[in-house]
Copies of this chain bind each other. A is one copy, B any other.
Amino acid sequence: MTATETPPDAGTRRVTTAKAMAEAIGLEMRDNPEVFVMGEDVGAYGGIFGSTTDLFAEFGADRVIDTPISETGFIGAGIGAAVEGMRPVVELMFVDFYGVCMDQISNHMAKIHYESGGAVKVPMVLMAATGGGYSDAAQHSQCLWGTFAHLPGMKVVVPSNPYDAKGLMASAIRDDNPVLYLFHKGAQGLVWMEKNPRSIADVPEEAFTVPIGKAATAREGTDVTIVTLSLSVQHSLDVAEELAGEGISVEVIDLRSLVPLDRQAVLDSVAKTGRLLVVDEDYKSFGLSGEIAAIVAETDPTMLAKPVSRLAVPDVPIPYSRPLEYGILPTREKISAAVKDLLA
User: Residues of A with Cβ closer than 8 Å to B?
Assistant: 72, 96-107, 110-111, 114-115, 137-139, 146-147, 149-153, 258-259, 261, 282-283, 285-291, 293-294, 296-302, 304, 307-310, 315-317, 319
Question: Do residues A111 and B99 form an inter-chain contact, with CB atoms below 8 A?
Answer: no
Of all chain B residues, which has the CB nearest A293? B294
A286 touching B285, Cβ below 8 Å: no
Separation of A168 and B144 alpha carbons in the complex (Å): 29
Cα A293 to Cα B72 with chains together (Å): 36
Q: Could you tell me the distance in whole angstroms from the C-beta of A240 to the nearest C-beta in chain B?
A: 21
Residue on B nearest A101 in the bound complex, by CB: B99
| Measured CA separation A261–B286 after assembly (Å) | 11
Measured CA separation A294–B282 after assembly (Å):
16
Collect the chain B residues with CB atoms within 8 Å of residue A289's CB.
294
Is the pair A115, B138 in contact by a Cβ cutoff of 8 Å?
yes
Residues on B with beta carbons closer than 8 Å to the beta carbon of A301: 296-297, 301-302, 304, 307-308
| A150 to B146 Cα, complex, angstroms | 8
Name the residue of chain B whose CB is nearest to the CB of A146: B286
Give the Cβ gap from A152 to chain B, nearest Cβ, in Å.
5
Nearest CB of B to A147, in Å: 6
- Chain B residues contacting A287 (CB-CB under 8 Å) are 150, 286, 291
> Shortest distance in angstroms between A177's beta carbon and chain B's nearest beta carbon?
13
* Closest chain B CB from A292 CB (angstroms): 8
Q: What 3 pairs across the A-B complex have the smallest Cβ distances?
A: A99-B103, A99-B102, A293-B294
Other-chain contact of A307, B101, B299, B309, B310 (Cβ < 8 Å): B299
Interface centre among A102, A151, A294, A304 (most CB of B within 10 A): A294
- What CA separation (Å) do A307 and B293 show in the bound complex? 12
Cβ–Cβ < 8 Å partners of A286 in chain B: 146, 149-150, 258, 286-288, 290-291
Cα–Cα distance between A101 and B102 once the two chains are bound (Å): 8
Q: Which of chain B's residues have a CB closer than 8 A to the CB of A304? A: 297, 301
Contact (Cβ within 8 A) A297 B293: yes
Given the contacts A293-B293, A308-B301, A111 and B138 also touching, CB distance less than 8 Å: yes
A-B contact pairs, 7 of them (CB 8 A): A107-B139, A111-B138, A115-B137, A149-B285, A150-B285, A258-B286, A301-B301
A99 to B297, CA, bound (A): 32
Question: Among the listed B150, B294, B302, B317, which residue makes an inter-chain contact with A308, where contact means beta carbons less than 8 Å apart?
Answer: B294
Partner of A316, one of B150, B152, B293, B317: B152
Task: List the B side residues contacting A72 at CB < 8 Å.
Answer: 100
In the complex formed, the residue of B with least CB distance to A316 is: B152
CA distance A75 to B287 in the complex (A): 25
Q: How many whole Å from A314's CB to the nearest CB in chain B?
A: 9
Question: Which residue of B115, B150, B259, B291 is within 8 Å of A317 (Cβ)?
Answer: B115
A115 to B96, CA, bound (A): 15
Question: Which residue of B has the minimal Cβ distance to A296?
Answer: B297
Contacts of A308 in B (CB 8 A): 294, 297-298, 301
